[in-house]
Structures are given as C-alpha cells and as structure tokens.
Amino acid sequence: MEAAKGASGSATPVFLLSNAASNSSVEGFYLANFKDLKVHKFSPDRKVISTGASQTNLPPAKLQSLIAEDNEIYLKVLQLLDDGYGGVIFTGDPGTSKSWFARQIALRLADGDQELVKFIQFHPGYQYEDFVESYIPNESGGFDLVDKIFLRACEAARNNPDSTSVLVIDELSRTDVVRVFGEALTYLEQSNRKLNFTLSSGRSYSVPDNLVVLCTMNPWDRGVEELDMALERRFAKIHFEPKIELLRDALSGSSLSDERKGKLEQFFFMTSRHSNRLCSLGHAYFLKVKDDDSLKRLWDHQLSFHFERVLKNDPEQLALIQSAWNRIFHEE
C-alpha cells in the first residue's frame, strides 16, 4: 500500500492490485472498510502459459503408491483400522521414514486418488481455526465461515462413500491436539462416527466412517504426554525403529568401501542404543551419502550440530560420540 498526495496536500492511501485479482474478495474487503482508499490496478509483467486446451474437465491424475500391497507396515495399518481404530500414529526416532510411509500408505488406501488425500503439518502456533473452521473477510466487508482441511477431508469422504479418504498429519505432537481438534476429537472414535455434534460455529456436523487419519510424531517432543492421554483410546500406534538393513540399502549406491560401511554401521548401532534417546538416528539421514566427502559433509553440516544440541549438558558423552564418528575414517 502506498500514499498519494491529494489536492489539499493530504495523503490518500492507495492500494495496488493486480488486474487478475480485481474482482477478488481482497478488493471488496478493503473498499468496504476503508472509505478513503483508492485502488490502482496494474497488469503484472508476466506471461500466462497456456497448454492450448482446457483441463477443467479432466479427471485428476492418480499417483501410484511406492509401497506394495504386501508391505508389512501397510498390512499392519489395515489390520488396525479393521480392529476399529479411528487412525494410526507412526511414532519413532527422526529419520526412520515415518512421513514417507504415511504419504505412501495414504495413496494406497485412496487408490491413488489425490483428491481423497489431504496433507498438513502441525506446528506450535497451529489452531482450531487453521484446522477445522474459521471466519475470513469477504468482499462486502463481512465475514464468511470457511471449512479448513479437517472438514474438507470429511467432505471428500462423505462425497465418495465407496472410497477411503485420508488425512495425513505430520508432526502431530508439535501442537496442542485437544485445542486444535476441539470437539471433533471425541468423534474420531469409530463408535462415534456419523453421530452429530456441534462445531464452534454452531453448525451440526459428523465425521464419516470412511475417513482415515494417519499421523506422524516424534516420541520425544514436549507435548507427547498430553497427546497420549487425548488419543490413546482413539488411535493405534506403530513404532518405527532405526534398522541396520535400511541403512545398508541407503548406502548400497555409494562408493564407500566395505570397511567404511562397516564402521558406519557400528556408529549407527551405537547411537540407536544410546541411553539418551535423542541421539538415535534413522537411516534417512544417510540417504544423500555418495562417497567419503559427502559422508564428512553430513557430519560437519548436520550431525555434529544435532549431537551438540542434544548432548549440550553431557560433554563426556558428546566426546564419545565424536570419537566414534572419527573412527569411521581411521585407516587400520
């Protein structure tokens, strides 16, 4: 927003608006609430690329899940859902591919239909208004009630009763789940699905029984204790642990010598059994390792900072970790 000088010398606020947005609710909101505001429209210096054909009537492309139907974790999720749980939480150390599995299993549950899969990542500032419903300004100067991602996932399920709609929540434990879900939390239980309850807006609502919620969380986050109390009866959990086999797979395409790989496996095993659980690392940390130099960069620019943070009050253990890493590069 700029200020222009009027004939009397007073400043008049000017709102610069792209022609493409000239009929938007943004323009209407400002004009309704700021009577002295002038709107100057402009055409942005950019080209609109057209494919030559309208795609509005094309069905959404399906994405192929990267996990097989006989995948152990996928089958376990199916069993837990069949047992009546409202959702499944993937919990475990960082780098154990929790988020990757959640996304791929969501795609397989939804038969690859992207319209039936919703993704969201929680953070400490996340609120009910970000997740369930909120009021936003409209062009007449008032406010409209808007469905957020949870209700949109519910509607996708309701509109496709013969399919499975999936909501993937990453970093579940980084916020206050009770506050974010509000009254909907109780109705995630399968026994309460399709029962009407009242949203904060006063609307009557229900959670369809073909909505699946998959979540990931770090078991060492501060809010985990409260999270467990809220969800322990409603959601099942699958624990992801660091696995040597997955580390070997991650390093299979690298040029590391067999000796180097063996020493790295020893380091990996040591950290996974460390008394400080925050020292435990998953195989995903090592996916970018191609050779000795990239392995050294992994320590210099990521792992060293991680261990310095989690062991800042235990310099003796930090020194042991650093020594164990240095042994990887010690030539016998």
The per-residue pLDDT for range 283-301, each reduced to its tens digit, is: 999 999 999 999 999 999 9
- Which of the four pLDDT bands, split at 50, 70 and 90, describes residue 330? confident
pLDDT of residue 50: 36
Query: What's phi and psi for 226, nearest 5 deg?
Result: -65, -35
pLDDT of residue 275: 92
* CA-to-CA separations, 153 to 186, 227, 236, 288, in angstroms, rounded: 17, 22, 20, 34
- Which of the four pLDDT bands, split at 50, 70 and 90, describes residue 228? low
- From the number of C-beta atoms within 10 Å of its C-beta (0-12, 13-18, 19+), residue 117 rates as buried
DSSP state of 98: H
- Residue 154: which residues within 8 A CB-CB, separation 6 or more? 165, 205, 207, 208, 211
pLDDT of residue 39: 62
pLDDT of residue 24: 53
Spell out a b/e string for 85-116, using b for 16 or more CB atoms within 10 Å of the CB, else e: bbbbbbbbbbbbbbbebbbbbbbbbbeebeeb
pLDDT of residue 9: 54
Given a cut of 90, is residue 115 above it in pLDDT? yes
SS3 211: strand
pLDDT of residue 27: 61
Q: Which amino acid is at 200?
A: S
Counted residue by residue, the chain has a size of 332
pLDDT of residue 20: 46
Rounded to an integer, what distance in angstroms lies between the CA atom of residue 173 and that of residue 328?
35
pLDDT per residue as tens digits for the range 190-213: 899 989 999 999 999 999 999 999
Q: Which amino acid is at 329?
A: F
**Percent of the chain that is helix, strand, coil (3-state, to 5):** 45, 20, 40
Q: 117: which 2 tokens?
A: 């899969």
pTM recorded for the entire structure? 0.78
- Residue ranges of domains in the chain: 2-42, 72-240, 244-328
Query: What's phi and psi for 83, nearest 5 deg?
Result: -70, -15
Rounded to an integer, what distance in angstroms lies between the CA atom of residue 110 and that of residue 103?
11
pLDDT of residue 25: 55
pLDDT per residue as tens digits for the range 12-38: 565 555 554 445 555 665 566 666 666
Q: 23: which 2 tokens?
A: 């009929």
pLDDT of residue 10: 54
Q: Which helix (H) or strand (E) holds 8?
A: none
Q: Which of 224, 233, 213, 245 is nearest to 97 (CA)?
A: 245
Q: 110: which 2 tokens?
A: 């939804």
Fold of 72-240: Rossmann fold (3.40.50)
pLDDT per residue as tens digits for the range 142-181: 899 999 999 999 999 999 999 999 999 999 988 888 899 9
Q: 74: which 2 tokens?
A: 């996928």
In the predicted model, what is the mean pLDDT of the chain?
Answer: 85
